[in-house]
């Protein structure tokens, strides 16, 4: 059932509700994956064949955010066991209404943890209808949902798919997308922990993309940079595309990225970054034109100062009684 209410100028869709994560849970595995789900004739992959193979592989993760889940959604979800799933967007967008396409934005969330306030936001700018990545063919944008780990300890998750292409118009649209996303974080997620993941179509090394601006503005860190590059962002210059030798190495920058930040009430520590190698068919051919990107976090609810004081007093009293 889709329930909407106005929030910050956008309609929110409640996709699931329930209790907070299990007491004592301290690990969160997340995956971002562009599944190349355009119709077979125009897809960069073979979704009719590949989506049914992707579906059961997703169940190994706590939270999965996909992009380009367009034309074959039933095949993608047919073997999922996630109790919380977003409702597929079937809107057409301005171009789709004219051309008869209704693929939606291609963004979906599959989660083992309950979430609420699911929102879809279309980009203000796009470039290219049948060229330059066909970004205006569908209502591409970002999605948002909120997870509550404990009373007052929220994790806000943003999934996004930015404008593709290398023409200056593409870069201008992509800069607009990136700034629209981090402004949404500033407006809606003040004081909350945040994970941002998706197909950014951007590189730290590319002049004209503004990912460092986004990280600074929203106080985010990049998992790959933190765990592989010692916290040092790549400089603008030649693309780091040496991915055949080491798919997770310091010289392999992918456009599919995972960003994060902690809050005063919920601590997130990135423990692992990986590019899973098993999303392939029987011949070893990748199931999409993108490879999935994985991160594992340790999360910890941070007690309020007053709670710590009371806990300390209680432990001291217990010690005196034992003595």
Model pLDDT, residue 132 = 60
Model pLDDT, residue 133 = 62
| Class of domain 4-322 as given by CATH | alpha beta
**Are 102 and 90 spatial neighbours (Cβ–Cβ below 8 Å)?**
yes
Q: Other C-beta atoms within 10 Å of 306: how many?
A: 8
Q: Which of 211, 204, 261, 199 is nearest to 234 (CA)?
A: 204
- Sketch the domain layout of the chain as residue ranges: 4-322
Local structure of 211: helix, strand or coil: helix
Region 259-267: mean pLDDT is 97
Region 235-260: mean pLDDT is 96
In the chain, what percentage of residues exceed pLDDT 90?
Answer: 74
Region 71-98: mean pLDDT is 86
Partners of 241 in beta bridges: 252
Model pLDDT, residue 45 = 84
Region 129-146: mean pLDDT is 82
CA distance 102 to 95: 9
- DSSP string for 173-196: HHHHHHHHHHHHHHHH-TTSEEEE
Structure confidence at residue 91 as a pLDDT band (50, 70, 90): confident
Structure confidence at residue 321 as a pLDDT band (50, 70, 90): very low
**Are 61 and 298 spatial neighbours (Cβ–Cβ below 8 Å)?**
no
**Are 54 and 80 spatial neighbours (Cβ–Cβ below 8 Å)?**
no
Q: What's the pTM value of the predicted model, to 2 decimals?
A: 0.87
Model pLDDT, residue 4 = 30
Structure confidence at residue 310 as a pLDDT band (50, 70, 90): very low
* Pairing between β-strand 84-85 and β-strand 116-122 as defined by DSSP bridges: unpaired
- Least confident range of 84-88, 220-224, 303-307: 303-307
Q: Which of 247, 249, 297, 252 is nearest to 272 (CA)?
A: 297
Model pLDDT, residue 242 = 95
Partners of 27 in beta bridges: 298
The rounded mean pLDDT for the chain is 86
- Least confident range of 32-46, 162-176, 181-195: 32-46
First to last CA, the chain: 58
């Amino acid at each position: 059932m889709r329930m909407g209410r106005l929030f910050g100028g956008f309609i929110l869709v409640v996709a699931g509700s329930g209790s907070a994560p299990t007491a004592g849970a301290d690990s969160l595995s997340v995956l971002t994956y562009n599944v190349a789900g355009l119709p077979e004739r125009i897809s960069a992959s073979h979704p009719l064949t590949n989506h049914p193979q992707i579906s059961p592989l997703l169940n190994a993760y706590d939270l999965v955010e996909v992009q380009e889940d367009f034309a074959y959604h039933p095949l993608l979800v047919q073997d999922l066991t996630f109790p919380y799933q977003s409702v597929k967007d079937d809107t057409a967008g301005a171009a789709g209404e004219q051309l008869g396409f209704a693929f939606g934005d291609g963004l979906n969330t599959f989660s083992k943890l309950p979430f609420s306030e699911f929102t879809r936001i279309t980009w203000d700018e796009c470039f290219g209808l049948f060229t330059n990545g066909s970004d205006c063919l569908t209502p591409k944008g970002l999605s948002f949902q909120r997870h509550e780990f404990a009373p007052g300890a929220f994790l806000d998750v943003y999934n996004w798919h930015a404008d593709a292409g290398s023409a200056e118009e593409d870069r201008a649209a992509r800069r607009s997308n990136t700034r629209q996303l981090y402004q949404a974080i500033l407006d809606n997620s003040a004081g909350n922990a945040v994970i941002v993941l998706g197909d950014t179509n951007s590189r730290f090394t590319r002049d004209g993309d503004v990912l460092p601006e986004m990280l600074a503005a929203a106080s985010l860190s990049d998992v790959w940079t933190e765990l592989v590059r010692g916290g040092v962002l790549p400089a603008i210059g030649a693309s780091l595309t040496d991915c055949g030798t080491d798919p997770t190495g310091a010289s392999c920058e992918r456009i599919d990225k995972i960003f994060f930040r902690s809050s005063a009430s919920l601590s997130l520590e990135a423990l692992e970054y990986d590019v899973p190698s098993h999303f392939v068919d029987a011949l070893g051919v990748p199931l999409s034109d993108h490879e999935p990107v994985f991160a594992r976090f340790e999360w910890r609810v941070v007690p309020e100062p007053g709670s710590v004081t009371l806990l300390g007093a209680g432990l001291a009293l217990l010690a005196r009684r034992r003595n």
